[in-house]
Amino acid sequence: MDGHLKIAEQSKYMLTKGLIDLMKSNKYADISVKDIANNAGLSRRTFYRIFKNKEAVLDSIGINLVLGYIQELRTFDDEQLTFSAVISIFFQYWWKHKATAQVLIGQDLFISVLLKATRDERSIKMYDLFKMPWHVDGSEDDIKYTMIFFTGGYWSVIDSWLAESHPMNPDKMSDTLALALKSLSKVTESLHKK
């Protein structure tokens, strides 16, 4: 990585961390670009070289979380990515990132930020990276709406789970969701038989 790119990536990280830190004690709506830059120890000029506005920083946080999850999945072989394993990996990932998730949840931004990140073309490409039993073969619209359906549910579960003062452990959450989805699968099978 060349020096300028490395500095830009470091500045981007500092700005996203700066916004997260500010949101721990301030309302997102009350935080300015100047506040974010100052908290990161950078100038407003540097901020605007990297981000268009503070919403772009928030978008960056969301896409980094989603892409981080994709990277986590990529550390496993396709054979290891069973239905139960994917659910477990999902909850373990969010448990590791619960501090950031809880800041977004506390600002009532988690679901909107993650849904927007899910619609990002880099996230949509992940659909084809992993062949899962619940994936559909179809048009771009079929895939898009299937992905939105599943991820919207997942984001809502994470939002509710990590909003609790003492969230249940990720293994228990994995078991609970796996059981619910297996029950849903039985309902779906019975609908197809009619």
What total number of domains does the chain contain? 2
Asked whether residue 65 falls in the same domain as residue 149, the answer is: yes
Are 17 and 69 members of one domain? no
User: Domain check: are 113 and 173 in the same one?
Assistant: yes
Does one domain contain both 30 and 76? Answer: no
> Are residues 43 and 95 part of one domain?
no
Tokens 């961390």, located at residue: 17
DSSP state letters, 82-117: -HHHHHHHHHHHHHHTHHHHHHHHHTT-HHHHHHHH
> Is there a domain that residue 122 lies in?
yes
Q: Residue 54: its pLDDT value, please?
A: 97
| Secondary structure in 3-state letters for 46-79 | HHHHHCCCHHHHHHHHHHHHHHHHHHHHHCCCHH
Look up the domain containing 26 and give its range.
1-51
Shared-domain flag, residues 23 and 75? no
Residue 70 lies in a domain: yes
pTM of the model: 0.85
Which portions of the chain are predicted below pLDDT 70? 1, 122-136, 184-194
Residue 129 pLDDT: 65
What pLDDT sits at residue 135? Answer: 65
- The reported pLDDT for the residue numbered 134 is 59
Q: Is the same domain home to 176 and 115?
A: yes
Task: Say what the pLDDT of residue 74 is.
Answer: 82
